[in-house]
Amino acid sequence: MGDPAGIGAEIAVKVLSKREIYSLAIPVVIGSKAVMEDAISFIPANVSLNVIEDIKQTKGKYGIIDLFDLDNITLDDFKYGMASAAAGKASIEYIFKAIELAKEGIVDAVITGPIHKEAINAAGYKYAGHTEIFADKTNTKGYAMMLADGDMRVIHVSTHVSLRNACELVKKDRVLTVIRLANKTLKKLGFEEPRISVAGLNPHAGEQGLFGTEESDEIFPAINEAKKEGINVEGPIPPDTIFSKVIGKQYDIAVVMYHDQGHIPIKVTGFKYNKETNKWSSVSGVNVTLGLPIVRTSVDHGVAFGKAGEGRANEESMVQAIKMAIDFTT
């Protein structure tokens, strides 16, 4: 469900008010009955809740939302739009329960709503985000974040670290790991021979060492190694042109070196703000954690505290996240 103080419950209710979802899967929400009921009331939505304690109790029926109620927070414990330890603790417990169910094979995939990093850290959980939580709880070392919106796909060498640290994390072994994950993932999604591009770290991909040596020292050797393994990969490509080539379908994915290098193009293509209505007309994109022993996808946006509790949240990204999770399980 995500952080109770954010838009997670609202987008869960909106998505599960769509008949099409029930033709694709049996969705189950892990969260709080009190928060979900409140979301149903302020949207408003013509659905009801079926609280379950066992997966066998799911109805999987349009109009009824099956819910694992952890009963770990009340409406008096938080305020919409405000970070709190209580909401952070609740959101972490939903994630832990989801991972437990997935590891046991009780559910086929986990789709996460947005959490708030300040809130989970205030609750005593020192994680940078979902990706790190899932990696820790599944004992996964070689993992990576992939973002996707239509034909635009990026996969990250590093994510939630400072820019200074991100530069230091551009190492041959890590870049090679991410290239391999990109290749494996796209094949699972139906690409027979994925075309992988690798971004440079520096302007103009280093310009033959004039603007930095990470390309020649770390990135290029990783690409060469991947080519020896039969992977169709090219680079390093200047960061200011690589994404246009992905959108134009010259490549199927871009391996990016740090958080914003990948997030910015995805949000430029997927997020559309309408000045006239003062609303986001589109909030699309999916976040996927690759390398895990379980399937995990997520919305590609945050808790949206500025609109939480008001019924204005856009559920588009959650719909995409559910559909991509299904793609990974079929």
pLDDT digits (tens, 9 = 90+) for 140-198: 999 999 999 989 999 999 998 999 999 999 999 999 999 999 999 999 999 999 999 99
Is residue 2 a contact partner of residue 29, using CB atoms and an 8 Å limit?
no
The pLDDT tens digits along the chain (330 residues) read 999 999 999 999 999 999 999 999 999 999 999 999 999 999 999 999 999 999 999 999 999 999 999 999 999 999 999 999 999 999 999 999 999 999 999 999 999 999 999 999 999 999 988 999 999 999 999 999 999 998 999 999 999 899 999 999 999 999 999 999 999 999 999 999 999 999 999 999 978 888 889 999 999 999 999 999 999 999 999 999 999 999 999 999 999 999 999 999 999 988 877 788 777 666 778 999 999 999 999 998 999 999 999 999 999 999 999 999 999 998
- Is there a shared CATH topology between the 8-139 domain and the 144-267 domain? yes
CA 222 to the chain's CA centroid:
26
How far is it, in rounded angstroms, from Cα 10 to Cα 29? Answer: 12
State the DSSP H helix or E strand holding residue 117, giving kind and residue range, or none if neither.
Answer: helix 117-122
What is the distance between the alpha carbons of residues 151 and 252, in angstroms, rounded to a whole number? 7
pLDDT of residue 281: 67
pLDDT at 210: 87
Contact status, residue 282 vs residue 314, Cβ threshold 8 Å: yes
Longest dimension (CA), the chain: 63
pTM score of the predicted model:
0.88
Domain ranges of the chain: 8-139, 144-267
What separation in angstroms does the CA of 69 have from each of 30, 49, 72? 6, 10, 8
H or E element in which residue 50 lies: strand 48-52
The CATH topology of domain 8-139 is Isopropylmalate Dehydrogenase (3.40.718)
Q: Side-chain half-sphere of 282: how many Cα atoms within 13 Å? A: 13
Q: Which CATH superfamily is domain 144-267 in?
A: Isopropylmalate Dehydrogenase (3.40.718.10)
What pLDDT, in 10s, does the model give residues 80-113?
A: 999 999 999 999 999 999 999 999 999 999 999 9
pLDDT of amino acid 280 = 67
21-43 burial by CB neighbour count: b if 16+ within 10 A, else e? bbeebebbbbbbbbbbebbbeeb
